């Protein structure tokens, strides 16, 4: 690549966003990490909540696995900030000080670069290699196939982690037989209902609801649900957070050890 006029390094300062652009470069190189999120999913994942630490005093970070609410102080000298923060609905990479919750493994990686932390509260988890067999299976298919088969294997690899980060309440339109309405009344929250004909209804429902919310509603209505009447779709933001954190950790040396003009999720210029 001989020239780029729109590549840049973005550095955001908390309290007043400032962008540092590198809008021009010659003899640039573009690097892309092969299957970064599937690779991250090979790492240990948070499985079972072991303990909530309301006081982190005396906790050994090296032996802690989970999520920590903390006050963060970024080093002013860091070339490219690596810890992300959601600010006004958008992710930034701030300098200065702020308060947020991070995955323990990303905190350990940040400390090596001069970040300082004051730990406030911790959620300690057991860890387990949840996806190793799944990732290796579909990666092998992707590696040794072409066309539709390769595409489907790639989608199985790249899209799985996103399911764990879904919102608990999603709107969904479904058409049902009127005779089955009672199953949806007791297992979904229905926003609107339209009669299509004398046998069919169209429902706009909140799907992926928390099972606890549905149970509470039905207790108030004195309704008992059969266990097999509805399969609840689950989200697990802890797994999604761990995967994206592992991916950012993998990208750190590419960002801080080189003269980077631009970077995104899995690539650098």
Cα separation values, 96 from 3, 14, 74, 210, Å: 33, 6, 5, 37
Q: Quote the pLDDT of residue 9.
A: 38
- Provide the token pair at 40: 């991250």
Helix axes 104-111, 237-256, angle to 10 degrees: 20
Three-class secondary structure of residue 254 per DSSP: helix
Which H or E run includes 228? none
Strand partners, 268: 31, 263
Q: Please report which confidence band the pLDDT of residue 125 belongs to, taking 50, 70 and 90 as the band edges.
A: very high
Q: How confident is the model at residue 25 (pLDDT cuts 50, 70, 90)?
A: confident
Task: Confirm whether pTM is higher than 0.95.
Answer: no
Give the pLDDT band of residue 228 (cuts 50, 70, 90): very low
Q: Could you write out the DSSP letters of every residue in 168-196?
A: S-EEEEEEEEGGGHHHHHTTSEEEEEEE-
The rounded distance, in Å, linking the Cα atoms of 78 and 100 is 19
CA distance 182 to 179: 7
Please tell me the predicted confidence (pLDDT) of residue 186.
Answer: 72
């Amino acid at each position: 690549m001989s020239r780029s006029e729109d590549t840049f390094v973005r550095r955001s300062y908390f309290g007043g966003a400032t962008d540092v652009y590198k809008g021009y470069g010659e003899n640039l190189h573009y690097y892309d990490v092969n299957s970064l999120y599937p690779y991250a999913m090979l790492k240990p994942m948070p499985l079972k909540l072991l303990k909530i630490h309301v006081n982190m005093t005396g906790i050994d970070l090296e032996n802690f696995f989970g999520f920590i609410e903390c006050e963060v102080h970024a080093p002013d000298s860091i070339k490219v900030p690596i810890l992300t923060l959601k600010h006004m609905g958008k992710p930034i990479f701030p300098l200065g000080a702020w308060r947020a919750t991070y995955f323990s493994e990303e905190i350990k990686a940040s400390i090596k670069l001069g970040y300082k932390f004051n730990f406030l509260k911790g959620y300690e988890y057991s860890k387990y290699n949840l996806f190793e067999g799944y990732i290796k299976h579909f990666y092998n298919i992707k590696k040794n196939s072409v066309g539709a088969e390769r595409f489907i294997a790639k989608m199985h690899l790249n899209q799985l982690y996103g399911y764990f980060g879904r919102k608990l309440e999603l709107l969904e339109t479904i058409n049902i037989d009127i005779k089955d309405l009672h199953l949806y009344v007791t297992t979904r929250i229905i926003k609107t209902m339209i009669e299509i004909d004398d046998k069919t209804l169209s429902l706009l429902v909140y799907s992926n609801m928390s099972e606890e919310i549905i149970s509470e509603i039905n207790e108030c209505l004195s309704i008992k649900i059969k266990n097999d009447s509805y399969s609840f779709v689950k989200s697990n933001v802890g797994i999604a957070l761990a995967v994206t954190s592992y991916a950012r950790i993998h990208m750190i040396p590419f960002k801080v050890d080189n003269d980077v003009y631009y970077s995104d999720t899995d690539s650098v210029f």
